[in-house]
Amino acid sequence: MTQKNYYITTPIYYVNDKPHIGHAYTTLACDVLARFKRLDGCNVMFLTGTDEHGQKVEKSAEVAGIDPQAFCDRVSQSFRDLAATMNISNDDFIRTTEPRHVTAVQALWQKLAATGNIYLGKYAGWYAVRDEAFYQEDELQDGPNGQKLAPSGAPVEWVEEPSYFFRLSAWEQPLLKFYEENPGFILPASRRNEVISFVKGGLKDLSVSRTTFKWGIPVPGDEAHVMYVWLDALANYITAAGYPDTASEKYRHFWPADLHMVGKDILRFHAVYWPAFLMAAELAAPKRIFAHGWWTNEGQKISKSLGNVIDPVGLVDEYGLDQTRYFLMREVPFGNDGDFRRSAIIGRINSELANGFGNLAQRTLSFCAKNTGAAVPQPGELSEADEALLAHADSLHPRMGESLDVQAIHTALQHWFDLVDAANKYIDVEAPWTLRKTDPARMLTVLWCLLEAIRQLAILAQPFMPASAAKMLDQLGVSEAARSFAHLGEAGRLRAGTPLPAPQGVFPRHVEAAAQEG
């Protein structure tokens, strides 16, 4: 059977400041999906990286008193460090200042020019440095002291300069046709409707070069211009796939990308500009853009001025890595906005991980350590309740897979937790501690069924909580070679007599440190 290829990307993160919870959230969602696909037997390429050009970076470097490249090197490293802290399994990390990217973007520009999609003109209009975006007059709002503001709240300035333009207006109808023929291209559905409405409102040609600053990729043949940062940044996805060598094995395997994961604030660039650039360059568009929501902090919008920015490294230090990963993926319907609350993360850790899955495994394994010779017991004939629990466990992989294929990560985790819940009810009803005295053979069957449910839960927890799931599988005596999804269900059933190591708790309860007395 041919191995399926799967290419997933985060947006590349802008290096004007250090990473925050939004960056961790997007990257973590991609990591979960990439790990799930790998365990499912796919050949995965998972890309993340940093977007390092543009006026905003040039200004941030100036404020820091260092040259732009040194500034980018420093901030880009902080994104690599975050990926390591969060146990992210990316296969590549791209920087837009790399030679491979400069080569790819200049090749894309030349292709767009050769197909007549780029022309030289003059730009006069409103530009927001903070957003690196142009805005129409009717999109602006009035701010304090007569200042005009972009819809994002960023201040805008009037810019007049020579500029190359991309013929975006020519791609209005082809884009609408593409959206109609590919209904799953933009998810969630509410975001798809927003994009279609925006395109139907009319597309104007897009300014794709600047002459008033220098920190960017030079336009081929006209080095007075640097490329607009979004044309430069979006092309990272094809750079990493091997462009401009479209005949390479890598490009043929991985382009078009299966999924670009983005925050809702950059959906327009990915769902309108990017497919238009690709169509104009006679390249395939990606298969899906998924736009997720934003986090607030205890009900408040997160902002530097309020001092309530959530540092993901701080969360990991306080609550644990896998606990943080689980909470971020579990708490909010993926695609919606979410509110970070301390009480919520502590509640999930204690009720679902410690009392739910952790306690289920701990009491089952501890009971086996004392009553089955610290080995997997030999089951007898299965009852209806046993069959029901095993059928539930065996059906979990396809149900989680279906949810993750539409990026419903929270739904996949709900399916997972439903089995935790079912297994806890089963142990309470079957009561192996009573069977030990009344029906020891039946006790062995119940314990085997519980161990088998825990095995499948642990295998399917790997994309979400890799280190904790590995510890759990170690305690079940499951070899490294038997942890892929091919071993779920009957194919990997626990064998009687397999030694079980001494059980150790994997999910401790989170206890708040006592408040300091004044």
How many whole angstroms separate alpha carbon 137 and alpha carbon 156?
A: 11
Long-range CB pairs of 414-422 (<8 Å, 24+ gap) are 416/457, 416/460, 416/461, 416/464, 417/330, 417/352, 417/356, 418/392, 419/392, 419/393, 419/453, 419/456, 419/457, 420/352, 420/356, 420/357, 420/360, 420/457, 421/356, 422/389, 422/392, 422/453
Hey, where are the domains in the chain?
Answer: 5-293, 342-492
Predicted local distance difference test score (pLDDT) of residue 132 = 83
User: Is residue 326 within 8 Å of residue 465, measured between CB atoms?
Assistant: yes
Please state whether 2 falls in left (phi above 0), alpha (psi between -120 and 50) or beta: beta
Predicted local distance difference test score (pLDDT) of residue 515 = 41
Options 1.10.730.10, 3.20.20.150, 1.20.1300.10, 3.30.360.10; CATH for 342-492 is 1.10.730.10
Predicted local distance difference test score (pLDDT) of residue 259 = 98
Nearest Cα to 285, choosing from 431, 426, 184? 184
For 340, phi then psi, to 5°, come to -85, 120
How many whole angstroms separate alpha carbon 435 and alpha carbon 446?
A: 9
User: Is residue 286 within 8 Å of residue 257, measured between CB atoms?
Assistant: yes
Please state whether 499 falls in left (phi above 0), alpha (psi between -120 and 50) or beta: beta
Predicted local distance difference test score (pLDDT) of residue 221 = 95
What pTM does this model have? 0.94
Long-range CB pairs of 299-308 (<8 Å, 24+ gap) are 299/339, 299/341, 302/20, 302/21
Q: How many CA atoms lie within 13 A of 266 on its CB side?
A: 21
Predicted local distance difference test score (pLDDT) of residue 305 = 67
CA 140 to chain centre: 32
Predicted local distance difference test score (pLDDT) of residue 513 = 66
Residues 6+ apart with CB under 8 A from 368: 374, 375, 376, 377, 447, 451, 500, 503
User: Is residue 27 within 8 Å of residue 10, measured between CB atoms?
Assistant: yes
How many whole angstroms separate alpha carbon 160 and alpha carbon 210?
A: 10
For domain 5-293, the CATH superfamily is HUPs (3.40.50.620)
Nearest Cα to 231, choosing from 134, 108, 126? 108
How many whole angstroms separate alpha carbon 218 and alpha carbon 223?
A: 5
Residue 151 to residues 57, 66, 233, 364, 510, Cα–Cα distance (Å)? 21, 31, 22, 55, 41
Q: Give the chain's end-to-end CA distance (angstroms, integer).
A: 67
Predicted local distance difference test score (pLDDT) of residue 308 = 82
How many whole angstroms separate alpha carbon 268 and alpha carbon 262?
A: 10
How many whole angstroms separate alpha carbon 11 and alpha carbon 517?
A: 45
3-state helix, strand, coil in the chain (%, to 5): 50, 15, 30
**What is the enclosing helix (H) or strand (E) of 59?**
helix 55-64
User: Is residue 10 within 8 Å of residue 261, measured between CB atoms?
Assistant: yes
pLDDT tens-place values along the chain, 518 residues long: 678 999 999 999 998 778 888 899 999 999 999 999 999 999 999 999 999 999 889 998 999 999 999 999 999 999 999 999 999 999 999 999 999 999 999 999 999 999 999 999 998 889 898 888 888 888 999 998 888 999 989 999 998 889 999 999 999 999 999 999 999 999 999 999 999 999 999 999 999 999 989 999 999 999 999 999 899 999 999 999 999 999 999 999 999 999 999 999 999 999 999 999 999 999 999 999 999 998 888 888 877 667 788 889 999 999 999 999 999 999 999 989 988 999 999 999 999 999 999 999 999 999 999 999 999 999 999 999 999 999 999 999 999 999 999 999 999 999 999 999 999 999 999 999 999 999 999 999 999 999 999 999 999 999 999 999 999 999 999 999 999 999 999 999 999 999 999 999 999 999 976 544 33
Report helix angle 312-319 to 21-39, nearest 10: 70
407 is written with which tokens?
């990026």
**Residue at 502: amino acid letter:** A
